[in-house]
């Protein structure tokens, strides 16, 4: 080994270092560098570690046993951060994750610059809605809130701004967009998805990929990662990482489209899912990684594992007898990078030396990873400038985007006329509830921010209604441990107020990892409010004063009592750092709400699975004992302070050919007193088909701004690809026959105009 290394370096000495030449084509640079690398350096490029500050913090508080099922925190038993520093200097680590400061990123990079070949580190981070895991970055609303805006340009803008903030702290790779189609509200990760509709998820995901990556050639671009491939958003029992048992039809119709769209949009990395799929762990699933991803979709990028999931092939799924075998299976199935830690370098090198993994297979992965490092300019710019970092992060333009996004993503679920609030009528307002004055509005994947960077809901109310007298009864942050005395206090002080606002929901902040009720690895066996929150709402409402519920959460909540008894409900999701202002602006009518639900809200957990695009037989038999089979609020639903009328639905033809297209137009009129934006939705149903098809599927939508009294004709075009599906032999076809076009303000039949056409 030593002799070979010596021989290699003297040979290198005479050869032009093409890889260091910024003007050489990336392909040549990759090949040149690859030809200089030892096997150890190659497998090192395929490995990732958590940052040294993360290691220091967690080795102090965690035990080895804690590591087993913790997917957010780690250290490396038997090793310290000093070892990790050494391995970096030796060029044996390709990537880090969970590095939260620019100082640490630059420091680790300086160690990599001491290595033989000076291959820069690729820093990855979960910048899910802004680079919010690291403090002092703009925290935008979470993905589910963004999806409810149906504003794809906003998805692009947020991703672009996030990319700039990331590069300003030397981060190069975000583990987003999460393009899973959420089909189970028990699952704690609904809030980081774009909801339940494959089409909407695809469009949002595509714009996020484009926004993050740009052309993937400048120092304001970052690598996007579409995740998690696949099926974890319909877990068999609602819990994260539990098995997914999904037919190929469901995979191809529901779960694959956003991934395929992401690949087509240029996403250059993909993360596999924790779960097994139909009996095969996703991390050793050759069908997924090779046949579908690379074979059918021609994915040119690299695949990264999720957190310790290659190890879990052995220690959880038990389809490999030991970790080394798990590494073998995963690499041979198509895996390129290991998240994260020890054993990989040594065992993978052994597998190559034993002749089990061909070195050419390792080279394929290393090529894909180096390609990205060159394209992102890391060899030329390994560091980010400390002096300039805060010029970009949290800049006024980005904060304004975060505010605007929150205004667009908050859904008005119920309003009997109490909203917008009349300041003259409601002079004294009681505010209470766990989320009234807490940073929890930042949502999952956020770290605590400096208080001056966040506008809580109470602060927002005081800002927007400065003359109103707000009385606040603090209920603490923890819904599981509410104090009955404080509930009683709120109930009695409600009697003194003219109106009450209860800000309830879930707790999502990950710095209190085991105390949350929503978020990653925080799945629930019911979808009701936790703790004394229902009691609080009911007791406050018993004051007889109008009581408004504002929800802050990620998963849909079946707030049946509130929906029946309260005059108004606002679903804010996790609206981000300016979310408090946006909520207050909506409550006081400074902003007219326009968002529509990107996910169905069921009444109770027993109704699950409840999705709008279900198959025709799903509700043939209603639930017994008088329990409704309808959702609490359907997909696509959301109120405004104005009203809209739909009429004049027209199709350009009664019949179209297989190559033809059909124009659809509808007139939408703002029939109310104020300006608003209506999200016009177009659904299609295939009347008869050779296999069962959903009762409706979203195929297009438009955000339409309308002044009071204004009418606009909204046009859509239906092309045959919007009618295609997989036939009985799983071949994608467009089948002749009748189709129903539905256009309107929600997925509920009563909100839709309908017309039929025939495909010849």
Q: Return residues touching ligand BGC (CB under 6 A).
A: 71, 97, 126, 175, 227, 306-307
The least distance separating ligand BGC from the CB of residue 755, rounded to whole angstroms, comes to 42
Q: How far is the CB of 303 from ligand BGC (least distance, A)?
A: 13
Can you say how many angstroms the Cα of residue 674 is from the centroid of all Cα atoms in its chain?
33
Instruction: Tell the residue number behind the tokens 């979709």, with chain if given.
Output: 297
Q: Which helix (H) or strand (E) holds 137?
A: none
Helix (H) or strand (E) holding 56: helix 52-61
428 - beta bridge partners?
A: 469
CA-CA-CA-CA torsion for 682, 688, 694, 695, nearest 10 degrees?
Answer: 60
- Measured from the CB atom, is 227 or 722 closer to ligand BGC? 227
- Of the pair 176, 456, the CB lying nearest ligand BGC is at 176
Report the C-alpha gap between 715 and 711 in whole angstroms: 13
Cβ atoms 730, 252 nearer than 8 A? yes
Burial class of residue 57, CB neighbours in 10 A (0-12, 13-18, 19+): middle
- For ligand BGC, give the closer residue by CB, 341 or 377: 341
Give the shortest CB-731-to-ligand BGC separation in angstroms: 34
**Closest separation between CB of residue 521 and ligand BGC, Å?**
7
Strand partners, 700: 682
Please identify, using beta-carbon distances, which residue of 129 and 227 lies nearer to ligand BGC.
227
Residue 184 or 408: the one with the smaller Cβ distance to ligand BGC is: 184
Nearer to ligand BGC, 306 or 697 (CB): 306
**From the CB of 124, what's the least distance to ligand BGC, in Å?**
8
Closest approach, Cβ 170 to ligand BGC, in A, equals 18
Q: Which is nearer to ligand BGC, 95 or 500 (CB)?
A: 95
How far does the chain reach from its first CA to its final CA, in angstroms?
Answer: 69
Contact 691, 727 (CB under 8 A): yes
Quick one: 188 or 546, whose CB is closer to ligand BGC? 188
178-to-393, 464, 493, 732 alpha-carbon distances in Å: 23, 34, 43, 26
Closer Cβ to ligand BGC, 340 or 696, answer by number? 340
230: tokens are 């696949």
Beta partners for 713?
A: 667
CB of 308: closest distance to ligand BGC in angstroms? 8
Q: How far apart are CA 168 and CA 162, in angstroms?
A: 10
Beta strand 499-505 with 428-432 is parallel
Cβ(576)–Cβ(440) under 8 Å?
A: no
Q: Which residues pair with 595 in a beta bridge?
A: none
Closest distance to ligand BGC from the beta carbon of 141 (Å): 18
Strand partners, 505: 552
Of 195, 113, 114, the closest CA to residue 555 belongs to 195
Give the nearest distance from C-beta 71 to ligand BGC in angstroms.
3
- Min dist CB 97 to ligand BGC, Å, is 6
User: DSSP E strands: which ranges in 170-219?
Assistant: 173-174
Judged by beta carbon, residue 160 or residue 227, the one nearer ligand BGC is 227
Give the largest Cα separation in the chain, rounded: 87
**Closest distance to ligand BGC from the beta carbon of 59 (Å):** 18
User: Given the complex with ligand BGC, which of 228 and 596 has the nearer CB atom?
Assistant: 228
Q: How far is the CB of 262 from ligand BGC (least distance, A)?
A: 15
Nearer to ligand BGC, 180 or 253 (CB): 180
- Residue closer to ligand BGC (CB basis): 56 or 615: 56
Sign of the Cα torsion 334, 339, 345, 348 reads negative
Q: How far is the CB of 137 from ligand BGC (least distance, A)?
A: 16
CB-wise, 270 or 501, nearer to ligand BGC?
Answer: 270
Instruction: Give the Cα separation of 39 and 658 in Å (integer).
Output: 54
Between CA 26 and CA 17 the distance in angstroms is 13
| Adjacent-strand bridge partners of 663 | 717
User: Which of 269/594 has CB closer to ligand BGC?
Assistant: 269
Q: CB of residue 209 vs ligand BGC: minimum separation in angstroms?
A: 16
* Chain centre to alpha carbon of residue 520: 11
* Smallest separation, CB 398 to ligand BGC (Å): 22
Q: Is residue 291 within 8 Å of residue 331, measured between CB atoms?
A: no
DSSP H/E element including 677: strand 676-686
Beta strands, E only, 366-434: 411-415, 428-432
Nearest to 646 by CA among 714, 554, 734: 714
Phi and psi angles of residue 544, each rounded to the nearest 5 degrees, phi first = 85, -5
């Amino acid at each position: 080994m030593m002799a070979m290394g010596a021989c290699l370096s003297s040979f290198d000495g005479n050869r032009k270092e093409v890889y260091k030449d910024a003007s050489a084509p990336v392909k040549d640079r990759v090949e040149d560098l690859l030809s200089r690398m030892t096997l150890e350096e190659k497998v090192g490029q395929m490995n990732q570690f958590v940052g040294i500050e993360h290691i220091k913090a967690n080795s102090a508080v965690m035990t080895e046993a804690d590591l087993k099922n913790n997917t957010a925190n780690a250290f490396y038993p038997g090793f310290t951060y000093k070892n990790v520093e050494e391995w970096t200097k030796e060029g044996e680590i390709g990537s880090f994750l969970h590095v939260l400061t620019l100082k640490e990123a630059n420091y680790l990079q300086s160690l990599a610059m001491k290595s033989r070949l000076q291959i820069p580190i690729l820093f990855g981070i979960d910048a899910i809605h802004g680079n919010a895991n690291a403090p002092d970055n703009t925290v935008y609303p979470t993905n589910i809130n963004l999806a409810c805006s149906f504003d794809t340009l906003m998805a692009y803008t947020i991703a672009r701004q996030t990319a700039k903030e990331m590069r300003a702290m030397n981060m190069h790779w975000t583990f987003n967009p999460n393009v899973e189609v959420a089909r189970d509200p028990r699952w704690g990760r609904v809030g980081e998805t774009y909801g339940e509709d494959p089409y909407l998820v695809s469009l949002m995901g595509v714009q996020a990929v484009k926004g993050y990556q740009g052309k993937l050639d400048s120092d304001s671009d970052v690598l996007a990662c579409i995740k998690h491939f696949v099926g974890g958003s319909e877990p068999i029992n609602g819990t994260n990482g539990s098995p997914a048992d999904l037919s190929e039809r469901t995979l191809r119709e529901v779960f694959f489209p956003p991934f395929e769209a992401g690949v087509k949009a240029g996403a250059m990395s993909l993360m596999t899912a924790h779960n097994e799929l139909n009996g095969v762990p996703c991390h050793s699933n050759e069908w997924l990684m090779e046949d579908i991803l690379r074979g059918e979709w021609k994915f040119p990028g690299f695949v990264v594992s999720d957190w310790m999931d290659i190890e879990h092939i052995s220690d959880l799924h038990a389809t490999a007898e030991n970790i080394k075998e798990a590494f073998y299976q995963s690499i041979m199935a198509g895996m390129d990078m290991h998240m994260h830690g020890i054993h990989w370098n040594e065992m993978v090198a052994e597998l190559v030396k034993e002749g089990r993994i061909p070195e050419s297979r390792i080279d394929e992965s290393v090529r894909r990873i180096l390609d990205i490092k060159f394209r992102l300019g890391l060899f030329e710019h390994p560091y980010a400038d400390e002096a300039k970092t805060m010029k970009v992060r949290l800049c006024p333009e980005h904060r304004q985007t975060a505010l605007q996004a929150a205004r667009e993503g908050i859904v008005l679920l119920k309003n009997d006329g109490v909203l917008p609030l009349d300041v003259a009528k409601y002079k004294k307002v009681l505010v209470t509830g766990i989320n009234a004055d807490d940073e929890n509005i930042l949502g999952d994947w956020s770290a605590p921010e400096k208080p001056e960077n966040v506008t809580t809901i109470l602060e927002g109310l005081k800002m927007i209604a400065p003359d109103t007298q707000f009385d606040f009864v603090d209920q603490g942050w923890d819904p599981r441990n509410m104090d009955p005395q404080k509930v009683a206090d709120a109930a009695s002080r409600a009697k003194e107020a003219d109106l009450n606002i209860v800000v309830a929901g879930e707790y999502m902040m990950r710095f209190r990892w085991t105390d949350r009720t929503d978020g990653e690895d925080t799945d629930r066996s019911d979808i009701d409010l936790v703790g004394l929150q229902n009691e609080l709402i009911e007791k406050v409402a018993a004051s007889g004063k109008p009581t408004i519920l504002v929800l802050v959460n990620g998963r849909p909540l079946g707030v049946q009592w509130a929906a029946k008894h309260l005059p108004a409900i606002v679903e804010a999701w996790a609206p981000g750092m300016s979310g408090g202002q946006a909520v207050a602006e909506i409550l006081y009518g400074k902003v007219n709400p326009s968002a529509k639900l990107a996910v169905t809200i069921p009444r109770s957990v027993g109704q699950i699975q409840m999705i709008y695009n279900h198959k025709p037989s799903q509700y043939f038999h209603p639930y017994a004992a008088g329990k409704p089979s309808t959702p609490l609020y359907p997909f696509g639903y959301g109120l405004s302070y104005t009203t809209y009328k739909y009429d004049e639905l027209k199709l350009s033809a009664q019949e179209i050919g297989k190559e033809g297209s059909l124009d659809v137009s509808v007139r939408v009129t703002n029939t109310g007193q104020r300006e608003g934006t209506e999200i016009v939705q177009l659904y299609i149903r295939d009347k008869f088909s050779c296999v069962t098809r959903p009762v409706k599927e979203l195929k297009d939508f438009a955000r339409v701004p309308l002044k009071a009294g204004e009418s606009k004709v909204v046009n859509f075009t239906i092309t045959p690809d919007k009618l295609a599906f997989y036939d009985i032999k799983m071949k994608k076809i467009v089948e002749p026959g009748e189709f129903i076009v539905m256009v309107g303000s929600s997925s509920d039949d009563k909100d839709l105009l309908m017309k039929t056409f025939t495909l010849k």
